[in-house]
Amino acid sequence: MIKRNVIDIILLANPIYISGVEGVLLIGTGILGWMFSWPRMPLFPALNVIGGVLFLSGVAFHHYCERVHQQAHHQSDDITRIVTAGVYSKIRHPLYLSMIFINLGIGLAFGIIWTFILAVLIKVRIIMSALKEEEFLLGKFPEEYRQYKQSVQWRMIPGMF
């Protein structure tokens, strides 16, 4: 077992638990923002509608990715192989990308500035988790993951990242 610090433990934690906590925080700040009239984002209701579409698209994409990656919600230590089929042949972290869509969608749909700021912070955590997971997978599957990175250049957005 590899010794890890607290940040590594959070970044490589079971995605169900982390996403659950983040979801409660996002929805909670959105509801509190409505109840207490916290500052709202401009362009109401256009951004709210865009947020709803982004959220629903993220959920659909997440579901699609999960069908290809059966170990998607396991602890990092429990991963037994690298998935390279389907969307994983185009980008290395489609599930993380779907979570970014979902969280930013929630932030925009509520239209509360603090909820959106929290969604952006969660996005940063998701990207850090993807980077940490790559480091972990290189350690666990050195040659196989190196070859996968060479054949699938982009982490989340082809042509950009």
Instruction: Flag whether pLDDT at 37 surpasses 90.
Output: yes
Query: Would 158 be classed as within a structural domain?
Result: no
Compute the average pLDDT of residues 91-96: 96
pLDDT at 109: 97
Instruction: Flag whether pLDDT at 1 surpasses 60.
Output: no
Cα dihedral 31, 36, 41, 45, rounded to 10, equals 70
pLDDT at 9: 82
Distance CA 119, CA 126 (A): 10
Query: Would 143 be classed as within a structural domain?
Result: yes
pTM for this entry: 0.91
Query: Would 108 be classed as within a structural domain?
Result: yes
Q: How many domains does the chain have?
A: 1
Query: Would 144 be classed as within a structural domain?
Result: yes
Nearest to 103 by CA among 90, 120, 86: 120
pLDDT at 55: 98
Compute the average pLDDT of residues 43-64: 96
- Alpha carbon 24 to chain centroid distance? 15
Query: Would 120 be classed as within a structural domain?
Result: yes
* Single-letter residue type at 88: Y
